[in-house]
Amino acid sequence: MLSMTSRVAWVTLFAAIPALFTVPSSAAAADAKHPVEASSTQAGTTKRLPGGALLHLAPGTRIEIGRPLKLQLTAGTDETPTQVVKLFSGRVDVDLPLMKQPRSAVLIEAPHKVSAVAKGGHSVAIAAADRVIFAAVDGDMNSAAGNEWRPLPAGLVRTFVGSDPTPQSRPVPGVAEFHLAHPVVLALGQDGPGSKFDVGGVTQAEHYELNVWRVGDKGSELVRQMDVRGAAGQLASLPPGHYEVTARAIDRDGIAGKDSVARTLRVVGAELPAGARLEKGTVLLGQHARVKLIGADGLEVSYDTSSHFVRAPGTVGLSRGESTLVRIREPGSTDEVSVGLEPRALHADIEISPKTAQWPQDKITVSVRLFDAHGRALSESVPAKAAVMVNIQPVDVNWTRSGNVMSAQIPAAAGRGPWVVRVEVTDEFGDPAGRDFLEVAGAGNERISRR
């Protein structure tokens, strides 16, 4: 609390303080004797005052910077250099080092002869049309209506309505309870992964604010901020990486409580090799292909139903060429995310007819039906290659395709025969999918076509 001498001195000083310059929130200004550093963003303007105080001005905020003072903030202590800010309208957040004996302070003059001194930590001053609000979020303040100075301890909000000198007090919103349903999610395909969350536990909260920080070698970077009006939601569409997520309660006046405990969120990406494709959450792979894991550093993996986990490798693939379930988790956690790897097997059922054919009088047709490893008909978008040989000579034929069926007609070969017609089908990467053959008799040849 201020001493009686200081109270009288402040009244005199307030009347005499001239405004050196006006700094609207959209612009920076400076004085040769009292320079102010400023930087602007869409969220407002940040100013650094002499002595180290940081002012965060909301968009549209109007202030003036006055001449600095030296004030005795507590009886029996030395005077403290104090920067003077006159707040006409809007919101100012003040950040100062939190110290037992402040080395710098900020005096905020608001409408209706209401004032406050921020001495350390995080403080808020709001000048609305009919009220002035001071919040000692983290660190003590002093506040006054006229010359009646009173301490404003950390954790309290004080509201002055109109010219009423009797303030209303309430606590700063408490710490939110915040939980993520899944600390590890897997990003596959075009759809971004998501983790559900729930938040609550603060009675003063009008809504909650979530902050998503990307953790890197050089520290954390705020990459997303979102308002939550209910008790639950979902974080989605984050690129692969290591994140920490915090929540804080916001009351009706926009005063925020402290951040909740940070929750870790790991988004693991998968880079598919050439020829691999994603179908209904399962990765179809060639026998020796590998899926590259992105953002899995420090995680653990296990395979199928094994209870043994190892440090996550850079790539994963099929185990012995067979279907494999890859399970990923934080070390020691029981919460897992998994992805199935399946052989990219293309199966071709080949039919060559007629079964007893003679050339040149018979027309030989080939029908190829394409299926995946589970016997499901492949869509027309999945490519396949078919080759025809008569004896050992390749033959060009005109293939047509409808859905999973490829069809062609094989022209008769010249000569007396007999001949062997072979059909081989591969996937787009040359892996075999099926083969068949038919023996064809020539005109006047006693041999009967057979398979």
Per-residue model confidence as pLDDT tens digits over 24-34 = 333 333 333 44
Residue 40: pLDDT band with limits 50, 70, 90: low
Pairing mode, strands 37-41 and 44-48: antiparallel
Q: Provide the domain count of the chain.
A: 4
Q: Are 124 and 208 in a shared domain?
A: no
Cα separation of 196 and 230, whole Å? 13
CATH of the domain at 386: 2.60.40.10
Residues 317-357: tens digit of each pLDDT: 998 888 999 999 999 899 999 999 988 888 999 999 999 99
Domain shared by 213 and 322, yes or no: no
* Euclidean distance between CA atoms 126 and 160, whole angstroms: 10
CATH of the domain at 65: 2.60.120.1440
- The percentage of the chain sitting over the pLDDT mark of 70, rounded to a whole number, equals 88
Average predicted confidence (pLDDT) for the chain: 86
Residues 154, 171: Cα–Cα separation, whole Å: 9
| Domain final position from 121, 145, 171 | 171
Is residue 254 in some structural domain?
Answer: yes
Which tens digits make up the pLDDT trace of 406-423? 999 999 998 888 999 999
Are 213 and 323 contained in the same domain?
no
CA 200 to chain centre: 21
Domain assignment present for residue 328? The answer is: yes
Q: Residue 272: name the closest of 330, 344, 328 by CA.
A: 344
Same domain, 255 and 188: yes
* 329 and 420, same domain (yes or no): no
DSSP, res 322:
B
Strands (DSSP E) found in 139-238:
141-145, 148-152, 156-161, 168-171, 177-180, 184-187, 194-200, 207-216, 219-228, 232-236
CA distance 57 to 220: 23
Asked, for residue 377, whether it belongs to a domain, the answer is: yes
Does position 6 have pLDDT exceeding 60, yes or no? Answer: no
In a domain, 449, yes or no: no
Both 374 and 334 in one domain: the answer is no
| Rounded CA separation 328/325 (Å) | 10
pLDDT reported for residue 418: 93
Torsion of CA 219, 225, 231, 237, to 10 degrees: -90
Of 327, 343, 359, the residue that ends a domain is: 343
128/46 same-domain check? yes
Residues 410, 386, single domain; the answer is yes
Residue 230 clears pLDDT 60, i.e. is over it: yes
Q: Is residue 451 part of a domain?
A: no
Q: What is the pLDDT of residues 86-133, one digit of tens each?
A: 999 999 999 999 888 888 999 999 999 999 999 999 999 999 999 999
Domain encompassing residue 159: 4-171
Query: CA-to-CA distance for 394 and 404, rounded, in angstroms?
Result: 24
Task: Looking at the structure, tell me whether residues 255 and 327 fall in a common domain.
Answer: no
Q: What is the pTM of this model?
A: 0.71
- Is 447 a domain residue? no
**Boundary of a domain, candidates 141, 171, 201:** 171
The residue ranking higher by pLDDT, 189 or 157, is: 157
Please indicate, yes or no, whether residues 294 and 419 belong to a single structural domain of this protein: no
Kindly indicate the confidence band of residue 285, based on its pLDDT and cuts at 50, 70 and 90.
confident
Whether residue 17 is found in the same domain as residue 142: yes
Task: Report if residue 364 sits inside a domain.
Answer: yes
Answer yes or no: do 318 and 400 share one domain: no
* 210 part of a folded domain: yes
Report the distance separating Cα 335 and Cα 183, nearest Å.
Answer: 7
For residues 116 and 108, the answer to whether their CB atoms sit within 8 Å is: yes
